[in-house]
Structure 1
Amino acid sequence: MPGEDRPRQAGDRIESLLDALGAGGAVARGRAEELVRQVTDLYGSGLARILEILDDRGQLDRATLDALTADELVSSLLVIHGLHPQDLETRVTAALDSVRPYLGSHGGNVELLDVSPEGVVRLKLLGTCQGCPSSSVTLKFAVEEAIESAAPEVTAIQVVEEESRPATPAVIPVDALLVRLNHPDGGDAGNGGAGDGGGGRNGAGGTRTAPGAGPAGNWHEHAPGCWQAAPEIAGLEQGEVAGFLVGGYPVLACRTGQDLYAYRDYCPRCTGSMAGATLQRALAGPVGGGLLRCPACRAHFDVRQAGSCLEDRNLHLDPLPLLVRSGVMSVAVPAVSSQDA
Protein backbone atom coordinates (compact mmCIF):
# COMPACT_ATOMS: atom_id res chain seq x y z
CA MET A 1 0.00 0.00 0.00
CA PRO A 2 1.46 3.42 -0.98
CA GLY A 3 2.67 5.49 1.94
CA GLU A 4 3.03 2.54 4.33
CA ASP A 5 6.40 3.88 5.53
CA ARG A 6 5.16 7.42 6.14
CA PRO A 7 4.13 6.83 9.79
CA ARG A 8 7.59 5.49 10.62
CA GLN A 9 9.23 8.36 8.75
CA ALA A 10 7.02 10.83 10.61
CA GLY A 11 7.98 9.28 13.94
CA ASP A 12 11.67 9.49 13.07
CA ARG A 13 11.21 13.09 11.97
CA ILE A 14 9.52 14.00 15.26
CA GLU A 15 12.40 12.46 17.21
CA SER A 16 14.91 14.41 15.12
CA LEU A 17 13.06 17.68 15.69
CA LEU A 18 12.87 17.06 19.44
CA ASP A 19 16.61 16.37 19.53
CA ALA A 20 17.27 19.57 17.58
CA LEU A 21 15.08 21.60 19.93
CA GLY A 22 16.85 19.99 22.87
CA ALA A 23 20.02 21.74 21.72
CA GLY A 24 18.35 25.00 22.70
CA GLY A 25 18.23 23.95 26.32
CA ALA A 26 16.05 21.98 28.74
CA VAL A 27 13.24 24.56 28.69
CA ALA A 28 12.94 24.50 24.90
CA ARG A 29 12.88 20.70 24.81
CA GLY A 30 10.34 20.51 27.61
CA ARG A 31 7.99 22.84 25.75
CA ALA A 32 8.40 20.85 22.55
CA GLU A 33 7.61 17.58 24.33
CA GLU A 34 4.55 19.15 25.96
CA LEU A 35 3.35 20.29 22.53
CA VAL A 36 3.71 16.75 21.17
CA ARG A 37 1.78 15.37 24.16
CA GLN A 38 -1.05 17.84 23.69
CA VAL A 39 -1.36 17.07 19.97
CA THR A 40 -1.21 13.33 20.67
CA ASP A 41 -3.92 13.59 23.33
CA LEU A 42 -6.11 15.59 20.95
CA TYR A 43 -5.90 12.99 18.21
CA GLY A 44 -6.36 10.23 20.78
CA SER A 45 -9.61 11.83 21.92
CA GLY A 46 -10.72 12.06 18.31
CA LEU A 47 -9.94 8.38 17.72
CA ALA A 48 -11.89 7.41 20.84
CA ARG A 49 -14.84 9.49 19.64
CA ILE A 50 -14.80 7.74 16.25
CA LEU A 51 -15.03 4.35 17.96
CA GLU A 52 -17.89 5.60 20.15
CA ILE A 53 -19.85 6.79 17.12
CA LEU A 54 -19.33 3.48 15.32
CA ASP A 55 -20.43 1.60 18.45
CA ASP A 56 -23.54 3.80 18.90
CA ARG A 57 -24.55 3.04 15.31
CA GLY A 58 -24.00 -0.69 15.81
CA GLN A 59 -21.18 -0.77 13.27
CA LEU A 60 -18.35 -1.64 15.63
CA ASP A 61 -18.83 -5.38 15.29
CA ARG A 62 -16.23 -8.11 15.65
CA ALA A 63 -15.33 -8.05 11.96
CA THR A 64 -14.68 -4.30 12.09
CA LEU A 65 -12.59 -4.61 15.25
CA ASP A 66 -10.57 -7.44 13.69
CA ALA A 67 -9.93 -5.32 10.60
CA LEU A 68 -8.82 -2.35 12.70
CA THR A 69 -6.51 -4.36 14.94
CA ALA A 70 -5.03 -6.20 11.94
CA ASP A 71 -3.75 -2.91 10.54
CA GLU A 72 -0.30 -2.23 12.01
CA LEU A 73 -0.67 1.55 12.14
CA VAL A 74 -4.21 1.60 13.51
CA SER A 75 -3.38 -1.11 16.03
CA SER A 76 -0.38 0.84 17.32
CA LEU A 77 -2.50 3.99 17.71
CA LEU A 78 -5.13 2.05 19.62
CA VAL A 79 -2.41 0.74 21.95
CA ILE A 80 -0.90 4.20 22.51
CA HIS A 81 -4.25 5.66 23.52
CA GLY A 82 -5.40 2.69 25.59
CA LEU A 83 -8.18 1.81 23.17
CA HIS A 84 -7.04 -1.59 21.92
CA PRO A 85 -9.77 -4.21 22.50
CA GLN A 86 -7.23 -6.97 23.21
CA ASP A 87 -5.27 -7.13 26.44
CA LEU A 88 -1.48 -7.28 26.55
CA GLU A 89 -1.19 -11.06 26.95
CA THR A 90 -3.56 -11.72 24.03
CA ARG A 91 -1.51 -9.49 21.74
CA VAL A 92 1.77 -11.08 22.82
CA THR A 93 0.29 -14.53 22.19
CA ALA A 94 -0.83 -13.48 18.70
CA ALA A 95 2.64 -12.06 18.00
CA LEU A 96 4.28 -15.36 18.96
CA ASP A 97 1.82 -17.27 16.76
CA SER A 98 2.90 -15.13 13.82
CA VAL A 99 6.55 -16.22 14.15
CA ARG A 100 5.98 -19.93 14.75
CA PRO A 101 6.47 -20.83 11.04
CA TYR A 102 9.94 -19.27 11.17
CA LEU A 103 10.75 -20.95 14.48
CA GLY A 104 9.77 -24.21 12.79
CA SER A 105 12.69 -23.70 10.40
CA HIS A 106 14.89 -23.96 13.50
CA GLY A 107 13.10 -27.17 14.49
CA GLY A 108 11.78 -25.38 17.56
CA ASN A 109 8.99 -23.40 19.11
CA VAL A 110 8.37 -20.79 21.76
CA GLU A 111 6.19 -20.88 24.87
CA LEU A 112 4.79 -17.84 26.65
CA LEU A 113 5.33 -18.36 30.38
CA ASP A 114 3.74 -15.18 31.68
CA VAL A 115 3.40 -11.42 31.37
CA SER A 116 4.01 -9.49 34.58
CA PRO A 117 1.97 -6.44 35.66
CA GLU A 118 5.12 -4.42 34.92
CA GLY A 119 5.04 -5.53 31.28
CA VAL A 120 7.88 -8.06 31.44
CA VAL A 121 7.36 -11.00 29.06
CA ARG A 122 8.91 -14.35 30.01
CA LEU A 123 9.46 -16.87 27.20
CA LYS A 124 10.88 -20.35 26.81
CA LEU A 125 12.51 -21.47 23.57
CA LEU A 126 11.68 -25.10 22.85
CA GLY A 127 13.25 -27.89 20.79
CA THR A 128 16.34 -27.35 18.67
CA CYS A 129 15.56 -23.64 18.47
CA GLN A 130 16.91 -23.39 22.00
CA GLY A 131 20.29 -24.83 21.01
CA CYS A 132 20.49 -23.32 17.53
CA PRO A 133 23.61 -21.19 16.91
CA SER A 134 21.31 -18.52 15.46
CA SER A 135 19.02 -18.35 18.50
CA SER A 136 20.17 -14.82 19.36
CA VAL A 137 19.28 -13.77 15.82
CA THR A 138 15.95 -15.57 16.21
CA LEU A 139 15.12 -13.43 19.22
CA LYS A 140 16.38 -10.16 17.80
CA PHE A 141 14.87 -10.33 14.34
CA ALA A 142 11.78 -12.43 14.86
CA VAL A 143 10.42 -12.84 18.37
CA GLU A 144 11.37 -9.42 19.76
CA GLU A 145 10.32 -7.63 16.57
CA ALA A 146 6.89 -9.29 16.55
CA ILE A 147 6.24 -8.62 20.25
CA GLU A 148 7.38 -5.01 20.14
CA SER A 149 5.22 -4.35 17.09
CA ALA A 150 2.08 -5.86 18.62
CA ALA A 151 2.71 -4.68 22.20
CA PRO A 152 5.00 -1.64 22.36
CA GLU A 153 4.23 -1.21 26.05
CA VAL A 154 6.25 -4.36 26.87
CA THR A 155 9.16 -3.26 29.07
CA ALA A 156 11.41 -6.31 28.78
CA ILE A 157 11.63 -9.80 27.26
CA GLN A 158 13.24 -12.55 29.31
CA VAL A 159 14.11 -15.99 27.94
CA VAL A 160 14.17 -19.11 30.11
CA GLU A 161 16.09 -21.96 28.48
CA GLU A 162 14.86 -25.53 28.85
CA GLU A 163 17.22 -28.42 29.37
CA SER A 164 18.57 -29.61 26.03
CA ARG A 165 17.21 -32.89 24.76
CA PRO A 166 18.46 -35.10 21.94
CA ALA A 167 16.78 -34.21 18.68
CA THR A 168 14.63 -36.89 17.06
CA PRO A 169 16.54 -38.06 14.00
CA ALA A 170 14.86 -37.73 10.63
CA VAL A 171 14.34 -40.78 8.42
CA ILE A 172 17.24 -40.99 5.97
CA PRO A 173 16.43 -41.45 2.25
CA VAL A 174 18.03 -44.30 0.32
CA ASP A 175 20.45 -42.14 -1.66
CA ALA A 176 21.69 -40.56 1.57
CA LEU A 177 22.63 -44.05 2.77
CA LEU A 178 24.56 -44.53 -0.48
CA VAL A 179 26.43 -41.28 0.13
CA ARG A 180 27.47 -42.57 3.54
CA LEU A 181 28.67 -45.85 2.02
CA ASN A 182 30.60 -44.10 -0.73
CA HIS A 183 31.97 -41.35 1.55
CA PRO A 184 32.14 -42.76 5.09
CA ASP A 185 34.56 -40.03 6.13
CA GLY A 186 31.98 -37.34 5.32
CA GLY A 187 34.09 -36.03 2.42
CA ASP A 188 32.66 -34.21 -0.56
CA ALA A 189 30.99 -36.06 -3.38
CA GLY A 190 31.90 -33.12 -5.55
CA ASN A 191 34.72 -30.61 -5.60
CA GLY A 192 33.31 -27.81 -3.50
CA GLY A 193 31.30 -25.82 -6.06
CA ALA A 194 27.60 -25.95 -6.80
CA GLY A 195 28.07 -27.58 -10.16
CA ASP A 196 26.12 -26.13 -13.04
CA GLY A 197 23.49 -24.40 -10.90
CA GLY A 198 23.28 -21.03 -12.64
CA GLY A 199 20.98 -18.12 -13.26
CA GLY A 200 17.24 -18.57 -12.86
CA ARG A 201 15.05 -20.03 -10.20
CA ASN A 202 14.93 -23.84 -10.03
CA GLY A 203 12.18 -24.72 -12.45
CA ALA A 204 11.03 -21.12 -12.88
CA GLY A 205 12.31 -17.68 -13.80
CA GLY A 206 13.64 -15.46 -11.03
CA THR A 207 16.66 -13.82 -9.45
CA ARG A 208 19.29 -16.43 -8.70
CA THR A 209 22.30 -16.14 -6.47
CA ALA A 210 25.70 -16.56 -8.05
CA PRO A 211 27.18 -20.07 -7.67
CA GLY A 212 29.99 -20.57 -5.25
CA ALA A 213 29.01 -17.89 -2.74
CA GLY A 214 31.80 -17.72 -0.18
CA PRO A 215 31.25 -18.99 3.37
CA ALA A 216 32.28 -15.86 5.33
CA GLY A 217 31.21 -17.43 8.63
CA ASN A 218 27.81 -18.17 10.12
CA TRP A 219 24.88 -15.76 10.29
CA HIS A 220 25.70 -14.64 13.81
CA GLU A 221 29.33 -13.98 12.85
CA HIS A 222 28.34 -11.24 10.39
CA ALA A 223 27.78 -7.60 11.20
CA PRO A 224 24.22 -6.83 12.35
CA GLY A 225 21.83 -6.66 9.43
CA CYS A 226 18.26 -5.63 8.81
CA TRP A 227 14.96 -6.73 7.31
CA GLN A 228 14.79 -6.75 3.52
CA ALA A 229 11.60 -7.10 1.47
CA ALA A 230 11.59 -10.32 -0.57
CA PRO A 231 8.05 -10.73 -1.97
CA GLU A 232 9.26 -13.27 -4.54
CA ILE A 233 9.78 -15.81 -1.76
CA ALA A 234 6.05 -15.78 -1.01
CA GLY A 235 5.40 -16.82 -4.61
CA LEU A 236 7.23 -20.15 -4.32
CA GLU A 237 5.10 -23.16 -5.23
CA GLN A 238 4.79 -26.33 -3.15
CA GLY A 239 8.08 -28.22 -3.21
CA GLU A 240 9.91 -25.42 -5.05
CA VAL A 241 13.44 -24.29 -4.16
CA ALA A 242 14.93 -21.02 -5.40
CA GLY A 243 17.85 -18.72 -4.71
CA PHE A 244 17.68 -14.96 -4.31
CA LEU A 245 20.13 -12.14 -3.78
CA VAL A 246 18.56 -10.12 -0.96
CA GLY A 247 20.35 -6.98 0.08
CA GLY A 248 23.49 -8.37 -1.56
CA TYR A 249 23.25 -11.57 0.51
CA PRO A 250 22.69 -15.04 -1.07
CA VAL A 251 19.46 -16.61 0.20
CA LEU A 252 18.06 -20.08 -0.49
CA ALA A 253 14.31 -20.42 0.08
CA CYS A 254 11.84 -23.27 -0.26
CA ARG A 255 8.22 -24.12 0.41
CA THR A 256 7.02 -27.38 1.92
CA GLY A 257 3.32 -27.62 2.60
CA GLN A 258 2.13 -24.26 3.87
CA ASP A 259 5.51 -23.39 5.38
CA LEU A 260 8.25 -21.24 3.89
CA TYR A 261 11.89 -21.55 4.94
CA ALA A 262 14.90 -19.36 4.20
CA TYR A 263 18.57 -20.19 4.63
CA ARG A 264 21.91 -18.78 3.67
CA ASP A 265 22.83 -20.18 0.25
CA TYR A 266 25.83 -22.14 1.41
CA CYS A 267 26.42 -25.87 1.88
CA PRO A 268 28.54 -26.45 5.01
CA ARG A 269 29.53 -29.92 3.76
CA CYS A 270 31.05 -29.07 0.38
CA THR A 271 31.52 -25.34 1.17
CA GLY A 272 29.78 -24.24 -2.02
CA SER A 273 26.54 -22.72 -3.17
CA MET A 274 23.44 -24.91 -3.19
CA ALA A 275 22.29 -23.62 -6.59
CA GLY A 276 20.15 -26.36 -8.12
CA ALA A 277 19.15 -27.86 -4.76
CA THR A 278 15.94 -29.91 -4.64
CA LEU A 279 13.44 -30.85 -1.95
CA GLN A 280 13.05 -34.54 -1.23
CA ARG A 281 10.65 -36.50 0.91
CA ALA A 282 12.14 -38.71 3.58
CA LEU A 283 10.99 -42.32 3.70
CA ALA A 284 7.74 -42.43 5.70
CA GLY A 285 7.97 -38.64 5.99
CA PRO A 286 5.14 -36.15 5.39
CA VAL A 287 4.01 -35.31 1.87
CA GLY A 288 5.75 -32.31 0.32
CA GLY A 289 9.35 -33.10 1.19
CA GLY A 290 11.42 -31.78 4.03
CA LEU A 291 14.98 -32.54 2.96
CA LEU A 292 17.08 -30.12 0.92
CA ARG A 293 19.57 -32.03 -1.24
CA CYS A 294 22.80 -30.31 -2.24
CA PRO A 295 23.43 -31.00 -5.96
CA ALA A 296 27.22 -31.01 -5.52
CA CYS A 297 27.91 -33.29 -2.56
CA ARG A 298 24.43 -34.85 -2.29
CA ALA A 299 24.17 -34.01 1.41
CA HIS A 300 20.65 -33.77 2.87
CA PHE A 301 19.48 -31.04 5.23
CA ASP A 302 16.24 -31.27 7.22
CA VAL A 303 14.41 -27.96 6.81
CA ARG A 304 12.17 -28.76 9.79
CA GLN A 305 15.15 -29.38 12.07
CA ALA A 306 17.13 -26.15 11.72
CA GLY A 307 18.72 -27.38 8.49
CA SER A 308 20.48 -30.23 10.27
CA CYS A 309 22.65 -32.36 7.98
CA LEU A 310 21.65 -36.04 7.89
CA GLU A 311 25.12 -37.19 6.82
CA ASP A 312 26.94 -35.21 9.53
CA ARG A 313 24.98 -34.02 12.56
CA ASN A 314 27.72 -31.52 13.37
CA LEU A 315 26.76 -29.52 10.27
CA HIS A 316 23.66 -27.46 9.55
CA LEU A 317 22.39 -24.75 7.24
CA ASP A 318 22.12 -21.22 8.61
CA PRO A 319 18.41 -20.32 8.99
CA LEU A 320 17.35 -16.75 8.25
CA PRO A 321 14.38 -15.01 9.91
CA LEU A 322 11.42 -14.90 7.52
CA LEU A 323 8.28 -12.90 8.35
CA VAL A 324 5.46 -10.94 6.74
CA ARG A 325 6.06 -7.29 7.66
CA SER A 326 3.56 -4.60 6.65
CA GLY A 327 1.97 -7.15 4.33
CA VAL A 328 5.23 -7.96 2.50
CA MET A 329 7.30 -11.13 2.90
CA SER A 330 10.65 -10.06 4.33
CA VAL A 331 13.88 -11.77 5.33
CA ALA A 332 16.44 -10.57 7.86
CA VAL A 333 19.92 -10.73 6.37
CA PRO A 334 23.29 -9.73 7.85
CA ALA A 335 25.18 -6.78 6.51
CA VAL A 336 27.46 -7.71 3.62
CA SER A 337 30.94 -6.20 3.75
CA SER A 338 33.12 -5.59 0.72
CA GLN A 339 35.20 -8.57 1.83
CA ASP A 340 32.15 -10.85 1.68
CA ALA A 341 30.98 -9.60 -1.69
Structure 2
Amino acid sequence: MQIEDRLDEFESLARQVDDALSAVQKLDQTAQEAAMKLKESLEAFERYALIRLVRRMRDDPAGKNILLDAVGDPAIYALFLVHGIVKSDIRTRVFQALEQVRPYINSHGGDVELIRVENHTVFVKLHGSCSGCGMSSQTLHNLVEKTIQEHVPEIEAIEVEDEESSGGQGAFIPLSAINLGGDWIQALEYAEMVNGVPYRIHRDDIDAIIVRFNEQVSAYVNRCAHMQMPVDKGLVEGHILTCPWHGYQYDLKTGECRTVPGLRLDPVPVRLEGGSVWVRPRL
Protein backbone atom coordinates (compact mmCIF):
# COMPACT_ATOMS: atom_id res chain seq x y z
CA MET A 1 0.00 0.00 0.00
CA GLN A 2 1.37 3.41 -0.98
CA ILE A 3 1.90 6.16 1.61
CA GLU A 4 -0.81 8.27 -0.05
CA ASP A 5 -3.27 5.37 0.25
CA ARG A 6 -2.47 4.91 3.95
CA LEU A 7 -3.00 8.61 4.60
CA ASP A 8 -6.31 8.52 2.72
CA GLU A 9 -7.39 5.56 4.86
CA PHE A 10 -6.33 7.40 8.03
CA GLU A 11 -8.33 10.49 7.03
CA SER A 12 -11.32 8.31 6.16
CA LEU A 13 -11.23 6.67 9.59
CA ALA A 14 -10.93 10.11 11.24
CA ARG A 15 -14.01 11.27 9.34
CA GLN A 16 -15.91 8.21 10.54
CA VAL A 17 -15.09 9.18 14.11
CA ASP A 18 -16.28 12.73 13.40
CA ASP A 19 -19.53 11.43 11.90
CA ALA A 20 -20.16 9.16 14.87
CA LEU A 21 -19.54 11.98 17.36
CA SER A 22 -21.81 14.25 15.32
CA ALA A 23 -24.57 11.62 15.53
CA VAL A 24 -24.10 11.39 19.30
CA GLN A 25 -24.73 15.14 19.60
CA LYS A 26 -28.22 14.58 18.16
CA LEU A 27 -29.20 12.12 20.90
CA ASP A 28 -31.03 13.11 24.07
CA GLN A 29 -28.90 14.16 27.03
CA THR A 30 -29.01 10.80 28.82
CA ALA A 31 -27.95 8.94 25.68
CA GLN A 32 -25.23 11.53 24.99
CA GLU A 33 -23.78 11.13 28.47
CA ALA A 34 -23.78 7.33 28.14
CA ALA A 35 -22.10 7.48 24.73
CA MET A 36 -19.44 9.95 25.91
CA LYS A 37 -18.80 7.81 29.00
CA LEU A 38 -18.26 4.81 26.72
CA LYS A 39 -15.87 6.89 24.58
CA GLU A 40 -13.88 8.01 27.63
CA SER A 41 -13.72 4.46 29.02
CA LEU A 42 -12.47 3.05 25.71
CA GLU A 43 -9.85 5.80 25.46
CA ALA A 44 -8.67 5.14 29.03
CA PHE A 45 -8.40 1.40 28.30
CA GLU A 46 -6.58 2.13 25.04
CA ARG A 47 -4.10 4.47 26.75
CA TYR A 48 -3.40 1.94 29.52
CA ALA A 49 -2.65 -0.81 26.98
CA LEU A 50 -0.56 1.47 24.77
CA ILE A 51 1.61 2.60 27.67
CA ARG A 52 2.30 -1.02 28.66
CA LEU A 53 3.14 -1.89 25.04
CA VAL A 54 5.49 1.08 24.65
CA ARG A 55 7.28 0.27 27.91
CA ARG A 56 7.89 -3.32 26.84
CA MET A 57 9.20 -2.25 23.44
CA ARG A 58 11.51 0.34 24.98
CA ASP A 59 13.03 -2.30 27.26
CA ASP A 60 14.09 -4.38 24.25
CA PRO A 61 16.83 -3.00 21.92
CA ALA A 62 15.14 -4.31 18.79
CA GLY A 63 11.72 -3.22 20.00
CA LYS A 64 13.03 0.26 20.75
CA ASN A 65 14.22 0.69 17.17
CA ILE A 66 10.88 -0.51 15.81
CA LEU A 67 9.07 1.90 18.12
CA LEU A 68 11.16 4.87 17.03
CA ASP A 69 10.49 4.01 13.39
CA ALA A 70 6.76 3.53 14.01
CA VAL A 71 6.36 6.99 15.54
CA GLY A 72 7.21 8.40 12.12
CA ASP A 73 3.84 7.15 10.88
CA PRO A 74 1.34 10.08 11.07
CA ALA A 75 -1.48 7.88 12.40
CA ILE A 76 0.66 6.33 15.15
CA TYR A 77 2.14 9.71 16.07
CA ALA A 78 -1.35 11.27 16.31
CA LEU A 79 -2.54 8.39 18.51
CA PHE A 80 0.47 8.65 20.82
CA LEU A 81 0.13 12.43 21.02
CA VAL A 82 -3.56 12.25 21.99
CA HIS A 83 -2.73 9.85 24.82
CA GLY A 84 0.28 11.86 26.02
CA ILE A 85 2.79 9.14 25.11
CA VAL A 86 4.81 11.52 22.93
CA LYS A 87 5.24 15.26 23.37
CA SER A 88 4.89 18.08 20.90
CA ASP A 89 8.12 19.34 19.34
CA ILE A 90 10.26 21.62 21.49
CA ARG A 91 9.35 24.84 19.65
CA THR A 92 5.63 24.14 20.09
CA ARG A 93 6.10 23.56 23.82
CA VAL A 94 8.12 26.77 24.21
CA PHE A 95 5.37 28.67 22.37
CA GLN A 96 2.76 27.12 24.68
CA ALA A 97 4.80 28.15 27.72
CA LEU A 98 4.92 31.75 26.51
CA GLU A 99 1.16 31.66 25.93
CA GLN A 100 0.81 30.99 29.66
CA VAL A 101 2.35 34.36 30.57
CA ARG A 102 1.32 36.42 27.55
CA PRO A 103 -2.03 37.63 29.01
CA TYR A 104 -0.25 38.80 32.17
CA ILE A 105 2.41 40.65 30.16
CA ASN A 106 -0.33 42.07 27.91
CA SER A 107 -2.13 43.37 31.00
CA HIS A 108 0.94 45.55 31.66
CA GLY A 109 0.99 46.83 28.09
CA GLY A 110 3.82 44.61 26.89
CA ASP A 111 4.16 41.47 24.80
CA VAL A 112 6.58 38.60 24.24
CA GLU A 113 7.67 37.16 20.89
CA LEU A 114 9.34 33.81 20.21
CA ILE A 115 12.16 34.44 17.74
CA ARG A 116 13.60 30.94 17.41
CA VAL A 117 14.75 27.80 19.24
CA GLU A 118 18.27 26.73 18.36
CA ASN A 119 20.45 24.02 19.95
CA HIS A 120 18.33 23.98 23.13
CA THR A 121 18.57 27.75 23.41
CA VAL A 122 15.45 29.91 23.24
CA PHE A 123 15.56 33.42 21.79
CA VAL A 124 12.65 35.66 22.75
CA LYS A 125 11.97 39.37 22.45
CA LEU A 126 10.05 41.54 24.90
CA HIS A 127 8.07 44.43 23.49
CA GLY A 128 7.84 47.25 26.01
CA SER A 129 9.80 47.85 29.21
CA CYS A 130 6.83 48.39 31.56
CA SER A 131 8.30 51.61 32.90
CA GLY A 132 5.54 53.52 34.63
CA CYS A 133 3.40 50.48 35.47
CA GLY A 134 5.28 49.18 38.48
CA MET A 135 6.81 46.18 36.72
CA SER A 136 10.47 46.35 35.76
CA SER A 137 12.00 44.92 32.62
CA GLN A 138 14.07 42.55 34.78
CA THR A 139 10.91 41.24 36.43
CA LEU A 140 9.50 40.39 33.02
CA HIS A 141 12.78 38.72 32.04
CA ASN A 142 12.65 36.55 35.16
CA LEU A 143 9.00 35.65 34.59
CA VAL A 144 9.62 34.52 31.01
CA GLU A 145 12.73 32.52 31.93
CA LYS A 146 11.06 30.77 34.87
CA THR A 147 7.99 29.83 32.81
CA ILE A 148 10.04 28.33 29.98
CA GLN A 149 12.26 26.40 32.39
CA GLU A 150 9.24 24.95 34.19
CA HIS A 151 7.44 23.83 31.03
CA VAL A 152 10.41 22.82 28.85
CA PRO A 153 13.12 21.60 31.26
CA GLU A 154 15.44 20.43 28.47
CA ILE A 155 16.07 24.06 27.46
CA GLU A 156 19.64 24.92 28.46
CA ALA A 157 19.74 28.68 27.85
CA ILE A 158 17.28 31.53 27.33
CA GLU A 159 18.23 34.76 25.57
CA VAL A 160 15.75 37.54 26.34
CA GLU A 161 15.99 40.74 24.34
CA ASP A 162 13.90 43.84 24.85
CA GLU A 163 13.16 46.62 22.40
CA GLU A 164 15.51 49.10 24.02
CA SER A 165 18.50 46.75 23.86
CA SER A 166 17.77 45.97 20.20
CA GLY A 167 17.64 49.60 19.21
CA GLY A 168 13.85 49.86 19.16
CA GLN A 169 11.85 52.88 20.10
CA GLY A 170 10.65 51.59 23.45
CA ALA A 171 7.12 51.21 22.18
CA PHE A 172 5.58 50.40 25.58
CA ILE A 173 2.91 52.81 26.74
CA PRO A 174 0.97 52.17 29.96
CA LEU A 175 -2.52 51.01 29.04
CA SER A 176 -4.05 53.67 31.24
CA ALA A 177 -2.59 56.26 28.87
CA ILE A 178 -4.20 54.69 25.81
CA ASN A 179 -7.69 55.48 24.58
CA LEU A 180 -9.28 52.05 24.52
CA GLY A 181 -12.02 53.19 22.20
CA GLY A 182 -11.93 52.26 18.55
CA ASP A 183 -10.79 48.71 17.94
CA TRP A 184 -10.71 47.54 21.59
CA ILE A 185 -14.01 46.28 23.04
CA GLN A 186 -14.90 46.12 26.72
CA ALA A 187 -16.14 42.54 27.11
CA LEU A 188 -16.95 41.91 30.78
CA GLU A 189 -15.84 42.56 34.34
CA TYR A 190 -12.89 40.45 35.49
CA ALA A 191 -14.33 40.01 39.01
CA GLU A 192 -17.51 38.47 37.59
CA MET A 193 -15.65 35.70 35.74
CA VAL A 194 -15.87 32.22 37.24
CA ASN A 195 -12.61 30.30 37.05
CA GLY A 196 -12.58 27.85 34.13
CA VAL A 197 -15.93 28.94 32.65
CA PRO A 198 -15.85 30.25 29.04
CA TYR A 199 -17.83 33.44 28.34
CA ARG A 200 -19.04 34.29 24.86
CA ILE A 201 -18.90 37.82 23.44
CA HIS A 202 -20.82 38.12 20.17
CA ARG A 203 -21.12 41.42 18.32
CA ASP A 204 -21.06 42.51 14.71
CA ASP A 205 -17.27 42.50 14.50
CA ILE A 206 -16.35 39.69 16.91
CA ASP A 207 -17.50 36.28 18.10
CA ALA A 208 -15.14 35.03 20.78
CA ILE A 209 -14.90 33.04 23.98
CA ILE A 210 -13.04 34.37 27.01
CA VAL A 211 -11.89 32.17 29.86
CA ARG A 212 -10.06 32.76 33.13
CA PHE A 213 -7.74 30.37 34.94
CA ASN A 214 -6.64 32.06 38.16
CA GLU A 215 -4.80 35.21 36.98
CA GLN A 216 -4.51 34.08 33.35
CA VAL A 217 -7.19 35.31 30.93
CA SER A 218 -7.30 33.95 27.38
CA ALA A 219 -9.58 34.70 24.44
CA TYR A 220 -10.19 32.75 21.24
CA VAL A 221 -12.29 33.03 18.12
CA ASN A 222 -15.50 31.08 18.74
CA ARG A 223 -14.75 28.60 15.98
CA CYS A 224 -13.49 25.02 15.94
CA ALA A 225 -10.41 24.54 13.79
CA HIS A 226 -11.97 21.43 12.25
CA MET A 227 -15.27 22.52 10.62
CA GLN A 228 -15.37 26.17 11.75
CA MET A 229 -18.39 25.51 14.00
CA PRO A 230 -18.94 27.47 17.26
CA VAL A 231 -17.48 25.91 20.40
CA ASP A 232 -19.02 28.04 23.15
CA LYS A 233 -21.59 25.34 24.04
CA GLY A 234 -18.92 22.66 24.38
CA LEU A 235 -18.29 20.63 27.51
CA VAL A 236 -15.47 21.95 29.72
CA GLU A 237 -13.63 19.59 32.04
CA GLY A 238 -10.75 21.23 33.89
CA HIS A 239 -9.08 23.29 31.18
CA ILE A 240 -10.14 21.01 28.28
CA LEU A 241 -12.97 22.14 26.01
CA THR A 242 -14.71 19.54 23.82
CA CYS A 243 -16.30 20.86 20.64
CA PRO A 244 -20.04 20.03 20.76
CA TRP A 245 -20.13 19.20 17.04
CA HIS A 246 -17.38 16.68 16.37
CA GLY A 247 -15.70 16.12 19.71
CA TYR A 248 -12.40 17.85 18.99
CA GLN A 249 -10.69 18.76 22.26
CA TYR A 250 -8.80 21.98 22.98
CA ASP A 251 -6.63 23.15 25.85
CA LEU A 252 -8.17 26.47 26.88
CA LYS A 253 -4.90 27.61 28.45
CA THR A 254 -2.97 27.37 25.18
CA GLY A 255 -5.58 26.93 22.43
CA GLU A 256 -3.83 23.74 21.27
CA CYS A 257 -5.97 20.97 19.79
CA ARG A 258 -5.39 17.69 21.63
CA THR A 259 -7.22 15.65 19.01
CA VAL A 260 -5.23 16.57 15.90
CA PRO A 261 -1.63 17.84 16.19
CA GLY A 262 -1.06 21.24 14.63
CA LEU A 263 -4.62 22.53 14.94
CA ARG A 264 -5.49 25.21 17.49
CA LEU A 265 -8.10 27.80 18.37
CA ASP A 266 -7.36 31.21 16.86
CA PRO A 267 -6.27 33.57 19.67
CA VAL A 268 -7.89 36.97 20.17
CA PRO A 269 -5.89 39.87 21.68
CA VAL A 270 -6.99 40.41 25.28
CA ARG A 271 -6.07 42.93 27.99
CA LEU A 272 -7.02 43.66 31.59
CA GLU A 273 -7.58 47.28 32.52
CA GLY A 274 -9.57 49.00 35.25
CA GLY A 275 -11.10 45.74 36.42
CA SER A 276 -12.46 44.98 32.94
CA VAL A 277 -11.49 42.49 30.26
CA TRP A 278 -10.94 44.07 26.84
CA VAL A 279 -10.66 42.24 23.53
CA ARG A 280 -9.72 43.40 20.05
CA PRO A 281 -11.27 41.91 16.89
CA ARG A 282 -8.72 40.34 14.57
CA LEU A 283 -8.44 42.21 11.28
Length-normalised TM-score, structure 1: 0.33
**Given the two structures, how large is their TM-score scaled by the length of structure 2?**
0.39
Rg larger in structure:
1
